[in-house]
């Protein structure tokens, strides 16, 4: 057949992108911002952004209050977020029916990282940002972290720097753009728009305000291993970075790096084909049933409200508190708000093993009441061990015991990482990537499956597949060398 006359309109993906990402990931010494400077920058930003956070009574919240009828805790404007009740029926886990407080934040925010080639190496524009719930001061955050309330300026604060690059970007400069869920035990169907947009140095200029620095992917991978330094929003956006970060087998600096590189290549193969992996996910979506129904906060059972907190009667799960924040470095200098304060230290562990030299990770199809669809893929283990002290042995999460008796040489990655400090108070969890022998018993548990990075990267281009905790660990996994 004769081809119609060409008009030159057809396009194919940028074939140079994987190599450009790999080069940035290899630049562990940094480029525009030397490593030595990063540390002093953080120290200095910590001094510039002092947060004083003081617990107060709910009655002392300004602009926030409990609804007379439902007892829901809301902002007077109806925006930001609310704490409401949720009734849950589920066939997953040991408890089939419960009600709980949950954060309802229906607006979709933007989490965006600008990237730019500087001296031939891609850099990410990162922000040192302090949030009221942080265990420490500033953490390294995406270029932009904006709720709709932020960028429509409900609170009358200053405009969000660099936001314009994400509101209506030139399509061909977008490297990633996908709605991703957040914690389904704490949020009701919350999603944020995870975006990565490339700009040219000549268009943006490389001079940046004091809160911003250009960092390579290699630097970010190193910094992910520091406790409570790369914030949750940065981790989830980094997990959505296109394939290529993992480098190539030829350039690998270690056996592990080679296994990571091969894991990201479709041609290397996998224990399950992608069609099989998708079929497994479909079978889990179909198998599990979860019915949720929003309910008034004051009708939630098993939770106790005092002037200072809403807590589970057994002290489990989390507590809703109120705080007063005074800061010298944020859009507005003083405000009050509720925060959710988790009980106990979460444990997140992703098991990996090498199969014919290709790294595979063990994902768990997990039901959480706040997911839009039924299940999302979670790390191998995701729990707060303290919540299980009253739980019979048989009902404890699978593999938790393996995590608790892991030998140090099995741990490929470990750090304490924070959840979002704008909503959660001192929510810091231990994240680990644990290598198990290739002979690790292939579980017959049908909610678990071994997937390659190639498969996970592909799933991460879409919504509804990978939960925020797994995304954090995948961001760390992709940087392992």
Residues of this chain that interact with a copy of itself (CB under 8 A) are 1-14, 106, 108, 171-172, 174-179, 193, 242, 249, 252, 254-255, 257-259, 267-276, 278-280, 282-283, 285-286, 291, 354-358, 372-373, 438, 461-464
Token code pair at residue 304: 């106790």
Q: Least distance from C-beta 18 to a copy of itself, angstroms? A: 13
Q: Are the CB atoms for 214 and 198 separated by under 8 Å?
A: no
Q: Least distance from C-beta 198 to a copy of itself, angstroms? A: 11
Q: Least distance from C-beta 276 to a copy of itself, angstroms? A: 4
Q: Least distance from C-beta 17 to a copy of itself, angstroms? A: 9
Nearer to a copy of itself, 13 or 392 (CB): 13
Q: Least distance from C-beta 350 to a copy of itself, angstroms? A: 20
Burial 50-60 (b: 16+ CB within 10 A, else e): ebebeebebee
Between CA 71 and CA 390 the distance in angstroms is 30
- 204 burial via Cβ count (<10 Å: 0-12, 13-18, 19+): middle
Strands 346-355 and 428-435: parallel
Nearer to a copy of itself, 126 or 268 (CB): 268
Cβ partners under 8 Å of residue 143, min gap 6: 112, 113, 114, 124, 125, 126, 127, 162, 165, 212
Residue whose C-alpha is closest to residue 118's, from 223, 14, 175, 202: 202
Q: Least distance from C-beta 191 to a copy of itself, angstroms? A: 8
Nearer to a copy of itself, 291 or 301 (CB): 291
Nearer to a copy of itself, 332 or 445 (CB): 445
Between CA 41 and CA 50 the distance in angstroms is 15
Nearer to a copy of itself, 286 or 334 (CB): 286
Nearer to a copy of itself, 225 or 294 (CB): 294
Nearer to a copy of itself, 26 or 311 (CB): 26
Nearer to a copy of itself, 96 or 302 (CB): 96
Q: Least distance from C-beta 89 to a copy of itself, angstroms? A: 12
- DSSP string for residues in 221-264: HHHHTSTT-B-HHHHHHHHTSPTTTT--GGG-SSHHHHHHHHHT
Residue given tokens 């001079």 in the structure block: 207
In terms of residues, how long is the chain?
481
Q: Would you tell me how many other CB atoms lie within 10 Å of the CB of residue 294?
A: 14
Q: Least distance from C-beta 243 to a copy of itself, angstroms? A: 11
For residue 447, the Cα-to-chain-centroid distance in whole angstroms is: 22
Q: Least distance from C-beta 381 to a copy of itself, angstroms? A: 24
The helix-helix angle for 232-239 and 217-224 (nearest 10°) equals: 130
Nearer to a copy of itself, 48 or 412 (CB): 412
């Amino acid at each position: 057949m004769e081809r119609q006359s060409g008009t030159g309109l057809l396009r194919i993906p940028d074939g140079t992108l994987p190599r450009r990402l790999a080069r940035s990931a290899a630049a562990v010494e940094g480029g525009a911002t030397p490593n030595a400077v990063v540390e002093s920058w953080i120290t200095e930003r910590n001094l510039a952004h002092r947060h004083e956070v003081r617990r107060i009574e709910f009655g002392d919240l300004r602009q926030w209050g409990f609804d007379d009828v439902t007892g829901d805790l809301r902002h007077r404007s109806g925006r930001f977020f609310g704490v409401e009740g949720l009734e849950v029926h589920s066939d997953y886990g040991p408890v089939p029916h419960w009600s709980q407080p949950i954060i309802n934040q229906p607006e979709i925010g933007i989490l965006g990282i600008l990237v730019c080639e500087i001296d031939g190496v891609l850099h990410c524009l990162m922000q040192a940002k302090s949030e009221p719930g942080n265990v420490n001061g500033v953490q390294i955050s995406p270029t932009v972290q904006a709720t709709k309330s932020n960028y429509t300026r409900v609170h009358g604060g200053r405009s969000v720097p660099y936001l314009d690059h994400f509101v209506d970007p030139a399509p061909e400069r977008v490297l990633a753009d996908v709605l991703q869920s957040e914690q389904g035990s704490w949020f009701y169907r919350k999603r944020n728009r995870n975006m990565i947009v490339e700009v040219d140095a000549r268009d943006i200029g490389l001079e940046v305000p004091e809160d911003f620095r250009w960092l390579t992917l290699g630097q970010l991978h190193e910094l992910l291993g520091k406790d409570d330094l790369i914030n949750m929003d940065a981790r989830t956006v980094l997990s959505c970075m296109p394939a290529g970060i993992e480098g190539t087998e030829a350039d690998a600096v270690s056996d592990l790096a080679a296994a990571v590189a091969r894991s990201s290549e479709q041609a290397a193969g996998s224990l399950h084909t992608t069609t099989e992996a998708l079929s497994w996910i479909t079978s889990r979506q179909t198998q599990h049933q979860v019915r949720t129904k929003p309910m008034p906060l004051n009708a939630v059972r098993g939770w106790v409200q005092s002037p200072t907190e809403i807590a589970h009667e057994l002290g489990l799960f989390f507590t809703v508190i109120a705080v007063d924040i005074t800061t010298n470095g944020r859009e507005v200098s003083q405000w009050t708000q509720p925060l959710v304060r988790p009980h106990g230290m979460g444990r997140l562990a992703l098991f990996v093993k090498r199969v014919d030299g290709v790294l595979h990770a063990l994902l768990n199809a997990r039901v959480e009441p706040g997911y839009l669809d039924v299940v999302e893929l979670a790390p191998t283990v995701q729990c707060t061990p303290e919540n299980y002290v009253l739980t019979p042995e048989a009902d404890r999460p699978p593999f938790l015991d393996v995590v608790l008796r892991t030998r140090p040489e099995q741990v490929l990655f470990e750090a304490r990482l924070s959840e979002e400090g704008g909503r959660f108070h001192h929510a810091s969890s231990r994240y680990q990537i644990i290598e198990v022998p290739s002979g690790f018993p292939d579980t017959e548990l049908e909610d678990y499956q071994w997937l390659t990075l190639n498969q996970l990267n592909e799933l991460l281009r879409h919504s509804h597949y990978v939960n925020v905790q797994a995304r954090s660990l995948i961001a760390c996994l992709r940087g392992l060398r």
